[in-house]
Amino acid sequence: MAKTMKAAVVEKPNVLKVKQVPVPEIADQEVLIRVKYTGICGTDWSIFTGKYSADKLPLIPGHEFSGTVAQVGKKARGLKEGDRVTADINMSCGTCFYCRKGQKLMCRDFRQLGIHIDGTYAEYVKAPYDQVHKLPDSLDFLAGAFIEPLSCVIHSSKAARITHGSSVAILGAGLGVLHGALARQRGAAPVIVIGRNPKKLAIAREMGADVVLNIKEHQDPVAEVKKLTEGRGADYVVEAVGTPQTYEQAFQMVRPGGTVVAFGICAGEDTIQVRPFDLVLGEKNVVSSCAGVGPDWPDAIALLAYGHIKPQPLFSMIVPVEELEAALRELRTNPNLFKVFVSSDVSKREILSK
Ligand SMILES: [Zn+2]
Ligand SMILES: [Zn+2]
């Protein structure tokens, strides 16, 4: 077993270096995983630019991953070398009030792999054995690296409890595309996805949206959604962009008695204007969800394994770890890029879909 490995380290805000670092040493309850692919997430950009986790630097980011078990701790059960896996990235203390209430995401000592502790833009990562999930044979490593983002959308969908025949409007055609697919699976009609990129909106349609609205053509999405719902507004509105403006639109386009589903992540200092008068008299509800955790992981695996979610049209390319920073920048400027994967095993870019 090598003592060092290649990893991408954010040393300080806007300084990312690919260099040799020690291979993580595992405790008895942990396993070491040889990373195959890591999907780039918006959070990685926030970490790189110091908007998130600045107090955790230097840090190896990366949290949407798949790989193979390389080493098994003495007390790690149910896993062996060579198993194809991913891991639930959410770690908690297990003893505080929130952990005892089953609300691990609120734990006072909450840590996520690749966000608060070293992650997967590296050849190896370690994880507690009881958070590791095996990949079924029908899941390849790319789909395996997509389990984490899907689990987040599943967590949100469970919180929203969308019912048959409900109208659902989704602001955002990034992960919003998956919100559309899951809303359809829950029997929603119509499913409306609102975005600004024709290619992503076409994929949203393919994945189950009844109507797609391009805000470049429809300047006022609130009016459009009302038009599609006999003037009422949608029963559910999912905010999957993460800007104050789209959050305000979500409250404007949800019908009285309806539910706003908060999913997009704004900057910490952002605020929105909502009139409590309208909330109370309109009996408008809000549900929020922060991450996929616990059972959301096997649920995401099942939907992918049986092809109920087919994410392949979302997969744009694979880049070598040396190109992580370039890819992070490209994702900011090229709206046609969807999911970009990073690997230590490739030496040049592989395009997956145009
Ligand atoms: Zn992510
Ligand atoms: Zn806790």
Q: Are residues 25 and 46 in the same domain?
A: yes
Same domain, 31 and 125: yes
Give the residue among 231, 237, 264 at the shortest CA–CA distance from 250.
237
* Coil, strand or helix at 238: strand
Tell me, what's the pLDDT at 353?
86
Same domain, 248 and 189: yes
> Which ligand sits nearest to residue 63's alpha carbon?
1
Q: Which amino acid is at 353?
A: S
- Closest-approaching ligand to the CA atom of 112: 1
Residue 109 CA to ligand 2 center (angstroms) comes to 6
User: Are residues 132 and 171 part of one domain?
Assistant: no
Q: Residue 47: nearest ligand to its CA?
A: 1
Ligand 1 centroid from CA 64, angstroms:
6
Considering Cα of 340, then 341, then 342, then 348, what sign does the dihedral take?
Answer: negative
Which of the ligands is closest to the CA of residue 64? 1
d(CA 68, CA 33): 5
State the pLDDT at residue 219. 86
Residue 340 near residue 315 (C-beta atoms within 8 A): no
Closest ligand by atom to 339 CA: 1
Q: Going residue by residue through the chain (354 aa), what tens digit of pLDDT does each one get?
A: 889 999 999 999 999 999 999 999 999 999 999 999 999 999 999 999 999 999 999 999 999 999 999 999 999 999 999 999 999 999 999 999 999 999 999 999 999 999 999 999 999 999 999 999 999 999 999 999 999 999 999 999 999 999 999 999 999 999 999 999 999 999 999 999 999 999 999 999 999 999 999 999 988 999 999 999 999 999 999 999 999 999 999 999 999 999 999 999 998 899 999 999 999 999 999 999 999 999 999 999 999 999 999 999 999 999 999 999 999 999 999 999 999 999 999 999 999 987
67/87 same-domain check: yes
Ligand whose nearest atom lies closest to the CA of 96:
2
Residue 92 covered by a domain? yes
Residue 302 lies in a domain: no
Ligand 2 centroid to Cα of residue 112, in Å, is 13
Q: Quick one: 31 and 66 in the same domain?
A: yes
- Are 343 and 36 in contact, with CB atoms under 8 Å apart? yes
Give yes or no: residues 108 and 40 share one domain: yes
Ligand nearest to the CA of 98: 2
Ligand 2 centroid – CA 129 distance (Å): 18
With respect to residue 344, please indicate whether it lies within any of the assigned structural domains.
yes
Cα(90) to centroid of ligand 2, in Å? 11
* Residue 38 identity (one-letter amino acid): T
CB 169 within 8 Å of CB 251 = no
Q: Are residues 197 and 262 both part of a single domain? A: yes
Q: Ligand 1 centre from 39 Cα, in Å?
A: 8
Identify whether 275 is part of a domain: yes
Counting ligands in written order, the one closest to the CA of 292 is 1
Please give the full DSSP string across 119-184, using - where no structure is assigned.
-SSBSEEEEEGGGEEEPPTT--HHHHTTHHHHHHHHHHHHHHT--TT--EEEE-SSTHHHHHHHHH
| b/e 87-104 (16+ beta carbons within 10 angstroms → b) | bbbbbbeeebebbeeeeb
Q: Which ligand is nearest to the CA of 108?
A: 2
Q: Which ligand is nearest to the CA of 111?
A: 2
CA–centroid distance, residue 56 to ligand 2 (Å): 19
81 vs 84: CA distance, rounded Å: 9
- Whether residue 88 is contained in a domain is answered as yes
Backbone φ/ψ region at 165: left (φ over 0), alpha (ψ -120 to 50), beta = left
- Which residues make beta-bridge pairs with 15? 12
For residues 209 and 249, membership in a common domain is answered with: yes
How many Cα neighbours within 13 Å face the side chain of 115?
17
Q: What is the CATH number of the domain that holds 142?
A: 3.90.180.10
Find the 312 Cα to ligand 2 centroid distance in Å. 36
Smallest-distance ligand from the CA of 93: 2
The CA 304 to ligand 2 mean position distance, Å, reads: 30
The alpha carbon of 311 and the centre of ligand 1 are apart by a number of angstroms equal to 15
Residues 6+ apart with CB under 8 A from 264: 171, 172, 239, 240, 241, 242, 243, 246, 247
CATH number of 253's domain: 3.40.50.720
Provide the residue range defining the domain that includes 67. Answer: 4-146+311-351
Domain count, the chain: 2
Q: Can you tell me the distance from the alpha carbon of 246 to that of 186, in angstroms, rounded to the nearest whole number?
A: 24
In a domain, 299, yes or no: no
pLDDT (0 to 100) of residue 132 = 98
Question: Which pairing describes strands 15-22 and 350-351: parallel, antiparallel, or unpaired?
Answer: unpaired
Distance 150 CA to ligand 1 centre (A): 10
Which ligand lies nearest the alpha carbon of 102?
2
- Tell me: do 34 and 128 sit in the same domain: yes
pLDDT in tens, 17-40: 999 999 999 999 999 999 999 999
CA of 91 to the centre of ligand 2 (A): 9
Residues 268 and 248 sit within 8 Å (Cβ to Cβ): no
- Residue 213: what pLDDT? 98
Burial of residue 2 (CB within 10 Å: 0-12, 13-18, 19+) is exposed
pLDDT of residue 354: 73
- Please give the Cα distance from 113 to 211 (Å, whole number): 37
Q: How far is the CA of 97 from the centre of ligand 1 (A)?
A: 26
Rounded to whole angstroms, what are the CA distances from 33 to 10, 66, 115, 207, 266? 21, 9, 17, 32, 32
In a domain, 293, yes or no: no
How far is ligand 2, taken at its centre, from the CA of residue 111, in Å?
10
| Same domain, yes or no: 224 and 108 | no
Note whether residue 125 is domain-resident: yes
User: 178 and 65 share a domain?
Assistant: no
Centroid of ligand 2 to alpha carbon of 55 (angstroms)? 20
